[in-house]
Amino acid sequence: LDEPMNLTQPEEVTSFQDEVSLTQMDVESLWHPMVQHKKYERTPPKRMDKANGCYVTDSEGKEYLDGVSGLWCVNVGYGRTELADAAREQLVELSYFPLVMSHSPAIKLAAKLLELLQFEGKVHFSNSGSEANETAFKMARQYHAQTEGSRRYKIISRYRAYHGNTMGALSATAQAERRAKYEPLVPGFLHVHPPYCYRCPFGKTYGSCNIECASSIENTVIHEGAETVAAIIVEPVISGGGVIVPPDEYLPMLREICDRYGILLIFDEVVSGFGRLGKMFGHQVWGVKPDMITLAKGITSGYLPLSATVTQQHIFEAFLDESDPTSHFRHINTYGGNPASTALSLKNIEIIETEQLPEQAAKMGAYLRAELATLEDHPYVGDIRSKGMLLGIELVADKETKEPLPGNKVGAIVSYCLEQGVIIGRNGSTVPGLSNVLIIAPPLILTKADADLIV
Ligand code: PLP
């Protein structure tokens, strides 16, 4: 304290002090999601400073292969300067304007999404996957309210599904531990069993099961009263709930049930959109068209916040009765579809198309899956599931009984991979027995050498 400040201090010392004070500020100021902060007081989280391609570099200069693309979103990889340029140019031209009026990048992106989806319909923008799903639920309820004065309001989703953190999206989320302490949630949300063949909830085996996971949904609809059910929301492949890939018959059967009972089918493609499953959109893998589709994450590869709720035209048309002053969609958000996000998204989609990233995801995902087969004999590996560049390894303590591997052992594997320079994920549950799926969802630009490193 007595010494005057030494202005010629060596650079390393300054950056060491910066480092200490940033770590201190982190612990003192930042409320991180999904962690017990007592842990971070003992061991502060890694701070990532740089990223390029599939790799991120922490504040100590250590590189990691990001095997989960951030939060399953950095589809085109990190460090794409053309995306930064697109956002910058747009910010200089028109930094902000709400979509109660209009602007070019939002118009162009909406048209591009409809073209890619081969939808005749409309695109509504928001900022996150949760909001896109909230928007879909409100549109579904209002659509039904305005068609034949219907009283349909119930939304059906599946156990293990994650559809977001806001109250409606959390109500559709069916993971007990995520909902606990926030209940009661929004009325009118129901849950059914997922198509989880490895642990079939109906005790059946694929091939002789009549796809009961789908047909039983019809029973739920009948018992609830079909005239009260507004929509069914599903991810084509349950991602965060443990990479649950449905049998091929499943989504077509859901479509039939929805058509039979006048229920809207919503596909949550927040994760599966933009190439992840080996096609531009997940539903294209099975050729089943939803009535509504929600998109986020890969829509900007995570570079800026943006999401979309896309509807078929017949839904939009129910909002056009000028004689009713409440018939339009009475829902607005400040930032949704902002110029920089939409301009960046257009460039991001251009990269996905020109670099044929969905095809890449199919090819490299198949390679990864084939190489992971070397783990099948491992005593902890119960099941390996995948579609495109979305892979899950379900871990068991006992292959015969399928007793789940305890969470602390799963955590140890994830930590070991991190030490080895590979970030992998696990499904988010803390319920014993439901947190034992390792998740691999790397950027779609993954090379063979990167895939080998993960394996
Ligand atoms: N839907 C699915 C399938 C997701 O995986 C997520 C997030 O992980 C969401 C919705 C919510 O998206 P967001 O975190 O952008 O609100």
Within-domain flag for 6:
no
> What is the chain's mean pLDDT, rounded?
94
**Residue 106 pLDDT greater than 70, yes or no:** yes
Q: Does residue 16 sit in the same domain as residue 130?
A: no
**Residue 14 pLDDT greater than 90, yes or no:** no
Ligand 1 centroid, distance to 71 Cα (angstroms): 9
Within-domain flag for 3:
no
Interval 364-406: pLDDT, tens: 999 999 999 999 999 999 999 999 999 999 999 999 999 999 9
Q: Which of 73, 137, 163 to mutate to test ligand 1, by most ligand atoms within 8 A of the CB atom?
A: 163
Q: Is 266 in the pocket of ligand 1 (CB under 6 A)?
A: no
Long-range CB contact pairs, 88-96, < 8 A, 24+: 89/343, 90/339, 90/340, 90/342, 90/343, 90/344, 91/339, 91/340, 93/339, 94/339, 95/339, 95/340, 96/338, 96/339
CATH code of the domain covering residue 329 = 3.40.640.10
Measured in whole angstroms, the distance separating CA 239 from the mean position of its chain's CA atoms is 7
Average the pLDDT over 56-72 and give the result: 97
Distant-in-sequence, close-in-space partners of 52: CB < 8 Å, separation ≥ 6: 77, 78, 79
Q: Does residue 261 sit in the same domain as residue 279?
A: yes
Ligand 1 centroid, distance to 9 Cα (angstroms): 46
Q: Is 271 in the pocket of ligand 1 (CB under 6 A)?
A: yes
Q: Is 337 in the pocket of ligand 1 (CB under 6 A)?
A: no
Q: Is 280 in the pocket of ligand 1 (CB under 6 A)?
A: no
Interval 277-334: pLDDT, tens: 999 999 999 999 999 999 999 999 999 999 999 999 999 999 999 999 999 999 999 9
3-class SS of residue 191: strand
Within-domain flag for 4:
no
For atom 7 of ligand 1, which residue has the closest CA?
A: 164
**Residue 6 pLDDT greater than 70, yes or no:** no
Ligand 1 centroid, distance to 170 Cα (angstroms): 10
Q: Is 164 in the pocket of ligand 1 (CB under 6 A)?
A: yes
Q: Does residue 285 sit in the same domain as residue 199?
A: yes
User: How many distinct structural domains can be found in the chain?
Assistant: 2
Ligand 1 centroid, distance to 296 Cα (angstroms): 8
Cα atoms found within 13 Å of the Cα of residue 19, Cβ hemisphere only: 15
Ligand 1 centroid, distance to 127 Cα (angstroms): 11
Element (H, E) at 87: helix 81-93
324: left (phi over 0), alpha (psi -120 to 50) or beta: beta
Q: Does residue 340 sit in the same domain as residue 398?
A: no
Give the pLDDT confidence score for residue 5 in this predicted structure: 41
Within-domain flag for 232:
yes
Within-domain flag for 56:
yes
Q: Is 268 in the pocket of ligand 1 (CB under 6 A)?
A: yes
- pTM (predicted TM-score): 0.95
**Residue 255 pLDDT greater than 80, yes or no:** yes
For residues 121 and 310, the answer to whether their CB atoms sit within 8 Å is yes
Q: Is 162 in the pocket of ligand 1 (CB under 6 A)?
A: yes
Which of 354, 383, 407 terminates a domain? The answer is 354
Give the pLDDT confidence score for residue 2 in this predicted structure: 34
ipTM of the complex, rounded to two decimals: 1.00
3-class SS of residue 109: helix
Q: Beta-carbon neighbour count of residue 320 at 10 Å?
A: 10
Q: Is 235 in the pocket of ligand 1 (CB under 6 A)?
A: yes
**Residue 442 pLDDT greater than 60, yes or no:** yes
Give the pLDDT confidence score for residue 432 in this predicted structure: 61
Q: Does residue 181 sit in the same domain as residue 113?
A: yes
Ligand 1 centroid, distance to 154 Cα (angstroms): 21
Within-domain flag for 430:
yes
CATH code of the domain covering residue 438 = 3.90.1150.10
Give the pLDDT confidence score for residue 149 in this predicted structure: 79
**Residue 433 pLDDT greater than 60, yes or no:** yes
Q: Is 129 in the pocket of ligand 1 (CB under 6 A)?
A: yes
Distance of alpha carbon 221 from alpha carbon 218, whole angstroms: 5
Q: Does residue 426 sit in the same domain as residue 290?
A: no
Q: Which of 125, 271, 429 to mutate to test ligand 1, by most ligand atoms within 8 A of the CB atom?
A: 271
Q: Does residue 401 sit in the same domain as residue 331?
A: no
Q: Is 296 in the pocket of ligand 1 (CB under 6 A)?
A: yes
Q: Does residue 334 sit in the same domain as residue 384?
A: no
Give the pLDDT confidence score for residue 428 in this predicted structure: 66
Which domain does 65 fall in, by range? 11-78+356-454
Within-domain flag for 1:
no
Interval 174-233: pLDDT, tens: 988 889 999 999 999 999 999 999 999 999 999 999 999 999 999 999 999 999 999 999
Distance of alpha carbon 337 from alpha carbon 307, whole angstroms: 8
Q: Does residue 345 sit in the same domain as residue 360?
A: no
Q: Is the dihedral of CA 105, 110, 111, 116 positive or negative?
A: positive
Within-domain flag for 5:
no
Ligand 1 centroid, distance to 20 Cα (angstroms): 33
Average the pLDDT over 444-454 and give the result: 98
Ligand 1 centroid, distance to 270 Cα (angstroms): 6
For the chain, give the percent of residues with pLDDT over 70: 95
Ligand 1 centroid, distance to 164 Cα (angstroms): 5
Residue 272 CA, closest ligand 1 atom number: 3
Q: Does residue 160 sit in the same domain as residue 68?
A: no
Q: Does residue 161 sit in the same domain as residue 292?
A: yes
Which of 354, 377, 398 terminates a domain? The answer is 354
Q: Is 450 in the pocket of ligand 1 (CB under 6 A)?
A: no
Give the pLDDT confidence score for residue 431 in this predicted structure: 65
Q: Does residue 349 sit in the same domain as residue 370?
A: no
Which of 319, 336, 354 terminates a domain? The answer is 354
Q: Is 128 in the pocket of ligand 1 (CB under 6 A)?
A: yes
Q: Is the dihedral of CA 70, 72, 78, 84 positive or negative?
A: negative
